[in-house]
Amino acid sequence: MGTGFSFFLGETSTGLLGSSSLPAKPGLGDLPESCISSIFMYLDPPEICKLAQMNRAFRAASLADFVWESKLPSNFKFLVDKVLDHENLPKKEIYARLCQPNCFDGGTKEVWLDKSCGQVFLSISSRALRITGIDDRRYWSHIPTEESRFHTVAYLQQIWWVEALGELEFEFPRGSYSLYFRLQLGKTCPKRFGRRVCNADQVHGWHIKPVRFQLSTSDGQHALSECYLHQQGSWVHYHVGDFVVIDNHKPMKIKFSMVQIDCTHTKGGLSLDSVLIYPSKFREKLI
């Protein structure tokens, strides 16, 4: 028993069994940087950022270009050319910048990455659409609002023929995508006593005939849906359809539209914010 006790003390103190203590056991900070970086390739970006705060070795390993290149989408070079000013940035910096909303086409479109998984998201302003009668203030007007990422929405007072057309040419990573129109029945007004206000006085005509949504792609995909607009006072994402990207190194042309051209009655009180393109697996997040 005494021998065992003396041996235990000899591991932790000096002068009992030797002139110096035994070498300290290696810790996480002693792992080779290349080994840590290789492990980081199997983690999500938020996990990498958390571990980078542990010590200097982890932080240095988290800066490796090959770690962040594995997190970037396959079209990241296309994105860099389209929305970033500098090409020779560290891959971690490129990832961080692409996770922010990045404008292109004169500020009428935005693209960003999901911080957790690096998937690509797109938003297209109402100003990028060809809207019948948009230049005639008897029918349409642009309303400033904080509820749009573009800070303005197209608002319809009243018209017989509703038609909004758009198109996009973009290089998407391989995968399935869903396209939506973001609409609201009613006009958002300045807040009163800190509460959101939506004026629905001009809303009419949408319950008589459905709105038709369509999309088509340059590789022959088509989608069609019809929907009555009935939910007033809140923004709704109306699902147009889905498309699949197989060739992820070739730009795809997409055309999409929203029409209600039954001229037997007028329609009004509609706010048109934007068109969204999301990876299909994020559909529940929009709903």
Q: Would you list the domain boundaries of the chain?
A: 120-286
Mean pLDDT within 178-202: 93
Give the C-alpha separation, 10 to 133, whole Å. Answer: 89
CB distance 140 to 157 below 8 Å: yes
Mean pLDDT within 254-259: 98
Give the C-alpha separation, 253 to 218, whole Å. Answer: 5
Give the C-alpha separation, 149 to 147, whole Å. Answer: 7
Confidence of residue 248 (pLDDT cuts 50, 70, 90): confident
CATH topology of domain 120-286: Jelly Rolls (2.60.120)
Residue 10 has pLDDT above 50, yes or no: no
Instruction: Compute and round to an integer the Cα radius of gyration of the chain.
Output: 28
Q: What is the mean pLDDT of the chain?
A: 88
Mean pLDDT within 211-226: 97
CB distance 142 to 154 below 8 Å: yes
The alpha helices in the chain, defined as continuous H runs, are: 2-10, 33-40, 45-51, 56-61, 65-69, 76-83, 91-98, 283-286
Residue 274 has pLDDT above 70, yes or no: yes
Identify the CA nearest to 184 among candidates 166, 164, 210, 203.
Answer: 203
pTM of the model: 0.85
Tens digits of per-residue pLDDT, 43-88? 899 999 998 888 888 888 888 999 999 999 999 999 999 999 777 8
Tens digits of per-residue pLDDT, 191-203? 888 889 999 999 9
Query: What pLDDT is stored for residue 32 in this prediction?
Result: 72
CA distances from 13 to 3, 7, 20, 192 (A): 15, 10, 7, 71
Query: What pLDDT is stored for residue 247 in this prediction?
Result: 82
Handedness of CA 99, 100, 106, 109 (dihedral sign): positive
Give the C-alpha separation, 143 to 202, whole Å. Answer: 15
CA distances from 229 to 125, 179, 287 (A): 20, 17, 15
CB distance 207 to 230 below 8 Å: yes
Residue 251 has pLDDT above 80, yes or no: yes
Q: Which residues sit opposite 236 in a β-bridge?
A: 183
